[in-house]
Amino acid sequence: MAPIKISYVVSFSSQDPKYPAENLLSEDGVRPWLGCPKKHSKQLSVELQLERASPIGYVDIGNYGCAFLQIEVGRSSWTCDQPYLTLVPTVTLMTPADSKLDQNRYGVRMFKEGKD
């Protein structure tokens, strides 16, 4: 299955001016999205719009210092009160020891149906 393009960033909770959420749209190389360093937020979120409604067979996530990740999905045609569905439940991308020692901050994980 060919990759599905992300059309645009709908919303985000925080961003570093040097590493904005729009970096997630980049197709040429690694450009991270980071939270604002002045906010010290414990949780970041971003809402992305895909170019079209598509079945999702797998998701590749590039990690840049994130300890935990959860992916939820929905449709733009849903009413505002309909909750998103969990595609990838909360997973650990860095251990507490890695986080404290500033190790293994970067990597890529693939999540596909039935596996993580």
Return the pLDDT at 2. 62
User: Residue 99: what are its φ and ψ, rounded to 5°?
Assistant: -65, -45
Say yes or no to pLDDT of 110 above 60.
Answer: yes
pTM of the model: 0.82
* Cβ-count burial 42-70 (b if 16+ within 10 Å, e if not): eebeeeeeeeeeeeeeeeebebbebeebe
Say yes or no to pLDDT of 19 above 80.
Answer: yes
Class of domain 56-115: mainly beta
- CATH 2.60.120.260 domain extents, the chain: 56-115
C-alpha to C-alpha distance for 112 and 41, rounded to whole angstroms: 29
3-state secondary structure (DSSP) of residue 97: helix
Average pLDDT over residues 56-85: 90
Average pLDDT over residues 60-83: 90
Average pLDDT over residues 12-20: 93
